[in-house]
Amino acid sequence: MSVHAPGTAPESSTAAIRHLAERGYEATTAEDLAAAVGMSRSTFFRRFGSKDDVVFADHDHALARLETALEDTTLAPADALVSATADVLRLLLRDPDAARLRFELMRLTPALRDRELVITHRYERVFTRYIREVQQPGTPAWVASTLGASLVAAHNAALRAWLRGRVTDAAAALAGDLRQLTSLYARWLTNDHDGTERRVLVAVYETAGSPESVLAAVAEQLRQ
Amino acid sequence: MSVHAPGTAPESSTAAIRHLAERGYEATTAEDLAAAVGMSRSTFFRRFGSKDDVVFADHDHALARLETALEDTTLAPADALVSATADVLRLLLRDPDAARLRFELMRLTPALRDRELVITHRYERVFTRYIREVQQPGTPAWVASTLGASLVAAHNAALRAWLRGRVTDAAAALAGDLRQLTSLYARWLTNDHDGTERRVLVAVYETAGSPESVLAAVAEQLRQ
DNA sequence: TCTTTCATGGAACGCAGTCCCATCCACGCC
DNA sequence: GGCGTGGATGGGACTGCGTTCCATGAAAGA
């Protein structure tokens, strides 16, 4: 998993991505790429491991962040998943221009799209493992698998929407989607049948009112 | 997508898999493999495209079956997804010994596990496209993405459970799981709850949960 | 029988990734 | 200052995948 050089500067990988995007992925040899980032072919492979790993260099960072975030969180499981996933997206889009360049390169290069599937699968594994740890006893086995895959899929969908300019704050939009998604799985992520303190909210509303208006009133009550 | 030779006999690919499983994937060169299936190196690449595509040769068949099944179905969307996914698994496990051998090979070979992710992603795309076609108007965009990914994830989980001997009828067990999964998405796949009057909403929640999670749960109730 | 077509085998090539070794530089030690 | 030592680098050779091009042969058709 590209455990090659901990201290590889991120600017060299963005230089590599720029070079690949300009000249084309297939058209640039590993030697070209090494020269573009200012090192020999030997050390290029030592640092990045392979020609396509240089494109996904900072995924290692994001993945490590995700793992520690899920380990150290004090949030309820559903909230932890929502915020951790949104944080990953936020991290990947920290430099919007670099992100756009990277995904333009991937759009043009089938081999990199395939490689990305492998990379993102590592996130899925982390999610699934966490869910298996926190889920209620008796939860069916398929829950962790599908929810883990869903988190990655929602993340990717939000990313694509941002790339197409449909949303401006991709992480916030993603968090909204994920709150809905995790609410589908709420019964397996929260233990609402034990002695923890609970509160009851009763909202009476007219059928003429839209769900949104009811929701707004409920949100107002919750804020107090 | 290995559109190489439509008439490649399946027994030659199982012979190739057996050879790879016995001698090891990395240890067998393409020339060895070509000889093992009785052809020259040239024609081997012409027929299978690459060394690892030979392992996934029948996925092309299963994928084509899935596409036509979803196109021609008369079932309700949720049922169509359940039965089509179970059918894929049934097809892949039609020859149990060959399936076990194939997955034993994949267990030993990281490169093939990576490759499998790329292959199965094609199923995800087919599912997602179908869901987008049949979903109710106004369905949020994340639904098709996450449900498509979930179907593949549940399929893979059922396959792994079968490989570990936990279930005997993998397809039936998968169908059961998928019925539960699709029921989570029922409101976007069926239009059976229109015009019903609802006036009272009761939300029970833990004080430990964040306001956002409570809101999501309330929104979920409103939508039903 | 001649021709055309198509699948095959064979040979060469480009290039990714690995391995090995020589070099160089920054240390610490005497 | 001289000197060994460890780690990072560069260079070159090597393996093996996948591609390309060409020659061959067999089957099909005129």
* CA of B26, C1' of D8: distance in angstroms: 30
Residue B54: pLDDT above 50? yes
Q: What is the mean pLDDT of each run of 10 residues along chain A (224 residues)?
A: 51 87 96 94 96 92 96 96 98 94 95 96 98 97 98 98 95 98 95 58 56 58 50
Please state the φ and ψ torsions of residue B202, each to the nearest 5 degrees.
-120, 120
With an 8 Å Cβ cutoff, is B222 touching chain A?
Answer: yes
Looking at residue A56, its pLDDT comes to 94
- Judge whether B187 and B138 are in contact, CB under 8 Å: no
Contact A76 B220 (CB under 8 A): no
Searching chain B, which residue's CA lies closest to the CA of residue A184?
B184
Contact B177 A219 (CB under 8 A): no
A38-66 burial: b if 16+ Cβ within 10 Å, else e:
ebeeeebbebbbebbbbbbbbbbebbeeb
Among partner residues B118, B157, B212, which is closest to A179 by beta-carbon distance? B212
Residue B2: pLDDT above 60? no
Looking at residue A14, its pLDDT comes to 87
Segment B201-218 shows an average pLDDT of 64
The vertex-A48 CA angle with A42 and A51, nearest 5°, equals 85
* CA of B101, C1' of D22: distance in angstroms: 39
Banded pLDDT at B1 (limits 50, 70, 90):
very low
Looking at residue B12, its pLDDT comes to 74
Contact A150 B149 (CB under 8 A): yes
Nearest residue to B199 (alpha-carbon basis) of A131, A203, A181, A155:
A203
Contact A179 B214 (CB under 8 A): no
Whether A29 sits with its Cβ under 7 A from any strand C atom: the answer reads yes
Looking at residue B190, its pLDDT comes to 87
Percent of chain B residues past pLDDT 90, beyond the cut: 75
Other Cβ atoms closer than 10 A to A104 = 13
Looking at residue A58, its pLDDT comes to 86
Residue B209: pLDDT above 80? no
pLDDT digits (tens, 9 = 90+) for B137-172: 999 999 999 999 999 999 999 999 999 998 999 999
Among all protein residues, pick the one whose CA is nearest to the C1' atom of C10.
B42
Tell which A residues from 40 to 69 touch B, by Cβ distance under 8 Å: none
Whether B115 sits with its Cβ under 7 A from any strand D atom: the answer reads no
With an 8 Å Cβ cutoff, is B217 touching chain A?
Answer: yes
Task: Record the tokens describing residue A150, joined without a space.
Answer: 């869903």
Looking at residue A12, its pLDDT comes to 74
Contact A197 B177 (CB under 8 A): no
Nucleotide nearest to A44 (CA to C1'): D9
Half-sphere exposure of A134 (CA within 13 A, CB side): 25
- Over its C-alpha atoms, chain B yields an Rg (Å, rounded) of 22
- Tell me the pLDDT of chain B averaged across its residues: 88
H or E element, residue B206:
strand B200-206
CA end-to-end distance (rounded Å), chain A: 48
pLDDT digits (tens, 9 = 90+) for B105-141: 999 999 999 999 999 999 999 999 999 999 999 999 9
Q: Which comes out higher in pLDDT, residue A151 or B221?
A: A151
